[in-house]
Amino acid sequence: MSSTEENLKVVAVEVRDIRFPTSLQSDGSDAMHTDPDYSCAYVTIRLASGLEGNGLTFTNGRGTEIVVQAVKSLSYIVVGKIVTDIYKDFATFWRSVTSEGQIRWIGPEKGVTHLATAAIINALWDLWGKLVKKPVWHLLADLEPEVLLSVIDFRYVTNCVTKAEALQLLKQGQVGKEERIKKLLQTGYPCYTTQAGWLGYPDEKIRELAQKYLDMGYTVFKVKVGKNLQDDIKRCKLLREIIGYDRTLMVDANQVWEVQEAIDWMKELAQFKPLWIEEPTSPDDVLGHAEIARALKPLGIAVATGEMCCNRVLFKQFMQAQALEYCQIDSARIGGINEILSVYLMAKKLGVKVCPHAGGVGLCEMVQHLQMWDFVALSGTSEGRVVEFVDQQHEHFVNPCIIKNAHYTAPSAPGYSTTMKPESIAAYEYPNGSEWQSLFAKGLFQDPKK
């Protein structure tokens, strides 16, 4: 083995349980998740040279320790590998993680093991970006179509998009790419805010935050619904009074309704002209979403879903069944960038708009890269598309996302924007971090060791 190869060997995979006490302020609260503590399983992949890649998967507090254990169980597949060998045949490597002969049984390609996969894969992409000294969106955009295809596992989706069709789509995306990169660098990518819409917020806080984001140039707002119809009517009315009807409003039920209940409830909220209802029912119910979509179409209300969609196969079915109009990929829910790229390709072929979910720890940081790649190298447009932005936990990242005029600014630092500050890790690692020790001492949270 050459000294260069020796330097590129993966010598360690470390994983930490990082949690933030967001439930204290009802940040992130919705009809399903009433007391979330925004958290992540944070992975560091270290090379012999000392270079590190950082990746994460977003979690909601309790249960993060289970994802951490799953990362440890999968890490043997990565340690000892020459990292450039992984990148040369990334699809095969991805399949070796998702189809590990024994661990696969407790997925497969869903739930805890897939969240762990995402954290590992995201760390590998961060490392790739750092190796070639490019932000991940630019790394993706610079890959030749054939090379980009080599990172995607097409198993189970060829009845929607074949490799040959995907190659054509990517080749078409090369036309005008440089002009779009220039435009992206000048203006960024449009975003919307959910920050004024959390279900646990009192009216005064909603009013104050809606006005704040309106003054910052936001024209698209999202509000949480689904617990109490009269409260939802009141909250939508309040937001419309502030933002008017010339701006866009979306609503999000976070999976709490039955199919018919979703239809009936949205007929009551139709007066507020929402662009979409997000996650109206079970995230696995393709036919239920299709039924809701058909019923609400005459009211001008679309269906959006995907943040809890567990893999490319389910996305395929949602799109083929016309069960969603807006596809919401999540950068940590399915198996990292490799699998997400296949969803973008299916969406492109079927004419579905991708509007990513973001907001949890590191999600905004990651997902901006994916949507920017799509704009410059695949769909070629941001028309009718917008990325979620939630103003939470960005201060804990070395290269946080930057918003100007309600647009994500194109990242310039190498990697996937997923490296956390050492002091944040020291403060918020659970349960021994200094902030958690302080919260336990004050009696605000129960110390799990007692």
Query: Is 357 designated active site?
Result: yes
Q: Are 156 and 91 in contact (CB under 8 A)?
A: no
CB within 8 Å of 285: residues ≥ 6 apart: 259
Tokens of 348: 């492109």
Tokens of 379: 């769909």
Q: Can you say whether the dihedral through the CA atoms of 370, 421, 90, 132 is positive or negative?
A: positive
Q: Can you say whether the dihedral through the CA atoms of 86, 88, 92, 98 is positive or negative?
A: positive
Phi/psi for 165 (5° steps) reads -65, -40
The whole-angstrom separation of Cα 366 and Cα 20 is 19
**CA distance between the termini of the chain:** 50
Percentages (nearest 5) of helix, strand, coil residues in the chain: 45, 15, 40
Tokens 């009802």 appear where? Answer: 26
422: left (phi over 0), alpha (psi -120 to 50) or beta: alpha
Chain centroid to Cα 245, Å, comes to 28
- Among 110, 224, 394, 396, the active-site one is 224
CB within 8 Å of 140: residues ≥ 6 apart: 148, 337, 341, 369, 373, 377
Tokens 């919705």 appear where? Answer: 30
Phi/psi for 223 (5° steps) reads -130, 145
Torsion of CA 413, 414, 416, 419, to 10 degrees: -80
- Among 9, 110, 357, 394, the active-site one is 357
Query: Is 289 designated active site?
Result: no
Task: Give me the active site residues, please.
Answer: 224, 357
